[in-house]
């Protein structure tokens, strides 16, 4: 009995061409052939759908099986002719809807991203993570790290520009 079941499985696993694995996913199964499909020399049929995808249909014992042979060929992205060049090598372009886009050449081709205005050059961001503790003649700087809170102390007269800016910003904050 077991031998008959095994023999049945072996014959079901081959198609009329003698190839194994004819069971196709539901997305690849086709019940019929499109009317405008063209016959190929090898007995298969080719058909291009509305999206430009090219399909190949092959006759099996269970009906037709289709597979994708050619994907939609999209034109490579190019920089628009009316884009404005920047000194850093990027380009800014505004589309018909008023959206600004940044284009940049990369090793993988042209990259397109939504444009964001750069931060004003005069205003530097203030560090909000570093905790500044005034200890009279010295200032303690503490910052969280993966290994816990790390910190150091420095005399007020020896503060560098960044440390002085952090110290001044901490004095201005109401606590």
Write the pLDDT tens digit of every residue in 14-43. 444 444 444 555 556 666 888 888 988 988
Within 13 Å and on the Cβ side, how many CA atoms surround 128? 2
Question: What does pLDDT average to over the chain?
Answer: 79
Under 8 Å CB-to-CB from 28, ≥6 apart: which residues?
65, 66, 67
Residue 2 lies in a domain: no
On whether residue 31 sits in a domain, the answer given is: yes
Query: For residue 148, what are the CA distances in angstroms to 35, 89, 142, 143?
Result: 70, 42, 10, 9
Residue 52 burial (C-beta neighbours within 10 Å; 0-12, 13-18, 19+):
exposed
- Using a pLDDT cut of 90, give the percent of the chain over it: 30
Same domain, 65 and 105: no
The CA distance from 52 to 28, in Å, is 17
Locate 26 and state its tokens: 């539901």
pLDDT digits (tens, 9 = 90+) for 7-18: 444 444 444 444
Structural domain includes residue 56: yes
Domain that holds residue 88: 84-114
What the block records as the tokens of 149 is: 């809170």
108 lies in some domain = yes
105-117: pLDDT as tens digits: 999 899 999 988 8
As for how many domains the chain has, the answer is: 3
In this structure, is residue 175 part of a structural domain? no
d(CA 132, CA 171): 9
Determine the pLDDT at residue 141. 92
Per-residue pLDDT at 18: 43
pTM > 0.85: yes or no: no
Same domain, yes or no: 66 and 26: yes
Is 119 among the domain residues?
Answer: no
Residue 11: inside a domain, yes or no? no
pLDDT higher at 132 or 12: 132
In a domain, 54, yes or no: yes
């Amino acid at each position: 009995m077991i031998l008959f079941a095994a023999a049945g499985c072996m014959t079901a696993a081959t198609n009329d061409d003698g190839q194994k694995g004819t069971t196709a996913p539901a997305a690849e199964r086709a019940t019929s052939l499109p009317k405008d499909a063209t016959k190929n020399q090898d007995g298969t049929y080719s058909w291009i759908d509305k999206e430009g995808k090219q399909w190949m249909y092959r006759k099996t014992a269970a009906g037709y099986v289709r597979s994708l042979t050619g994907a939609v060929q999209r034109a490579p992205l190019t920089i628009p002719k009316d884009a404005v060049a920047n000194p850093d090598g990027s380009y800014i372009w505004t589309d018909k809807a008023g959206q600004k886009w940044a284009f940049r050449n990369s090793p993988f081709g042209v990259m397109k991203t939504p444009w964001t205005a750069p931060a004003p050059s005069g205003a530097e961001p203030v560090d909000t993570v570093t905790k500044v503790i005034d200890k009279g003649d010295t200032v303690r700087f503490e910052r969280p790290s993966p290994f816990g809170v790390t910190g150091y102390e420095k005399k007020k007269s020896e503060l560098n520009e960044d440390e002085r800016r952090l110290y001044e910003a901490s004095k201005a904050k109401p606590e």
